[in-house]
Amino acid sequence: MAVERTLAILKPDCVRKNLQGEVLARIQKAGFKVLGMRQLRLTQQTAGAFYAVHKGRPFYDELVGFMSSGPCVPIALERENAVGEFRNLIGATDPKEAADGTIRKLFADSKGENIVHGSDSVENGKIEVGFFFSGAELV
């Protein structure tokens, strides 16, 4: 298997609940290497640009509003099969459908406020990491 990069974002609900350390510990325990991490607050424009792929979908405006509602923590991650392994670790988008022991099952309140973002493909992982981090910022 190839080493891949994926982007995690600890969403505003994760930060509001002060779960950043707990979620990050689970990510690292699962074998992910942190290449870059920062806390920031997305503007409506930045959140809209990041989620532009969803523009026109019924949940787009709510998603952009939520992601710009408070601080979040983008994290560039690396490991073998990073995209698939991270999606297994976080669980289904809807915490009611997420497997026991996954991050969303343990900590998320709803499909809309689901604690963490994870890239959905290797290609998007590269694009999303590049959205938040320059190559020089990744260690």
Q: Is the pLDDT of residue 1 over 80?
A: no
pLDDT at 10: 98
pLDDT at 93: 95
Amino acid identity, residue 21?
G
Q: Give the chain's mean pLDDT.
A: 97
Residue 65: how many other CB atoms lie within 10 Å: 13
pLDDT tens-digit readout, 56-97 = 999 999 999 999 999 999 999 999 999 999 999 999 999 999
**What is the mean pLDDT of the segment spanning 8-30?**
98
User: What are the DSSP E strand ranges found in the chain?
Assistant: 3-10, 33-37, 73-80, 116-118
**CA neighbours within 13 Å on the CB side: how many for 117?**
26
54 carries an active-site annotation: no
Work out how many domains the chain is built from and give that number.
Answer: 1
| Measured distance CA(101)–CA(99) in Å, rounded | 6
Give the DSSP letter of residue 48: H
Q: What is the CATH number of the domain that holds 72?
A: 3.30.70.141
pLDDT at 114: 97
Supply the range of the domain harboring residue 110. 3-137
% residues pLDDT > 70 (the chain): 100
Query: Per the residue annotation, which of 5, 79, 105, 117 is the catalytic one?
Result: 117
